[in-house]
Structure 1
């Protein structure tokens, strides 16, 4: 039986202190505090005042039904994660900050590594998103292309350098988050 389940079934309708719960169940105060926080997140327990917990209506129903709480992930996280420093987009952002004016082909040449996959398409989507968000400006003239009949390469300039961490493009949220302190 998990600690959360033991606390759920051990709490009554009265407000109990962490020390009392720990003593009744033979647990440490830290264990009780952590399990109580998880029970609060599930909506089974409420904190009446500092260190004093009691069951909510949902907690009483769960206790009466004999619910067993399993540990582990309760659902997807909604938090944005700070990007890893070695991603293609982070390397491209570093290159943009250094060169200031570039094409997608320039970035691809500068940041591609063995086993990265379709770097050019990844960077094309990244550059387009940054351009729409106002981080990049597209020049009116294009650089000449190498293939016969080519329209040439679009040239971009970095106009909003917000810091060393690359902005994160979230297709799911249809937004860009800038970990340098600004949300676009």
Structure 2
């Protein structure tokens, strides 16, 4: 009787994807892990890959963000790992629409390009005729996002509660788009997307 012999070289076990490695690290941890710890444990090609992967895990309710850059696996995350991790669908990135020429953010960006250095209140006055608190809050969120990805430098003002901004990276006339959901800024001038490291939401 002839014995059948498989001459094909056995395939090596497939290395777990980054999302699975992150979830394993969080499930194995006694408590939470920081963004830096996740980078050290999972060794991604780029730190921003961890940000994107954690963001997807949060969307899938496998991970929760305790504070900026601090994460913990949820009960659903533990169950997902026990049941056999299956990657979610990764949707291709689609650039957001360009901001309207008369939008508030566009006017803030335009004022920054002219002045190069300004305060939050001065930018709001230049961008809005109302000067409402909602405009000031919106401007602060937008300016902080731009500062977090390297467009601006933030420093204190002599006026109490005020902040001044220095434009470091003027990439063109179209205002960068800030997405609070993905915590990323898309530059329509350079077609570059910048993600705030360690703080997906």
What TM-score results when the alignment is normalised by the length of structure 1? 0.50
Structure 2 segments unaligned to the other structure (5+ residues): 1-93, 195-201
Q: Does 1:107 align with 2:123?
A: yes
Alignment of 1:138-157 (within 5 A): 138-139=154-155, 142-145=156-159, 150=160, 152-157=161-166
Q: Does 1:119 align with 2:108?
A: no
SS of the counterpart of 1:166?
coil
SS of the counterpart of 1:155?
strand
Which residue in 2 is equivalent to 1:159?
168
Return the alpha-carbon distance in structure 2 between the equivalents of residues 121 and 162 of structure 1. Answer: 24
CA shift, 1:113, in A, is: 2.6
Which residue in 1 is equivalent to 2:193?
183
CA shift, 1:135, in A, is: 0.3
Deviations 1:76-128 (A, max 9, x none): xx552111111110000000000011111111111113497721011000000
What TM-score results when the alignment is normalised by the length of structure 2? 0.46
Return the alpha-carbon distance in structure 2 between the equivalents of residues 88 and 155 of structure 1. Answer: 18
Q: How many residues align?
A: 101
Supply the RMSD in Å over aligned alpha carbons: 2.2
Q: Does 1:80 align with 2:96?
A: yes
Return the alpha-carbon distance in structure 1 between the equivalents of residues 173 and 193 of structure 2. Answer: 15
Deviations 1:24-76 (A, max 9, x none): xxxxxxxxxxxxxxxxxxxxxxxxxxxxxxxxxxxxxxxxxxxxxxxxxxxxx
Larger radius of gyration: 1
SS of the counterpart of 1:102?
strand
CA shift, 1:183, in A, is: 2.2
Which residue in 2 is equivalent to 1:31?
none
Q: Does 1:128 align with 2:138?
A: no
Alignment of 1:58-69 (within 5 A): none
SS of the counterpart of 2:123?
helix
- Whether the aligned pair in 1 keeps the contact of 2:95 and 2:186 (CA below 8 Å) is no
Structure 1 segments unaligned to the other structure (5+ residues): 1-77
Which residue in 2 is equivalent to 1:169?
178
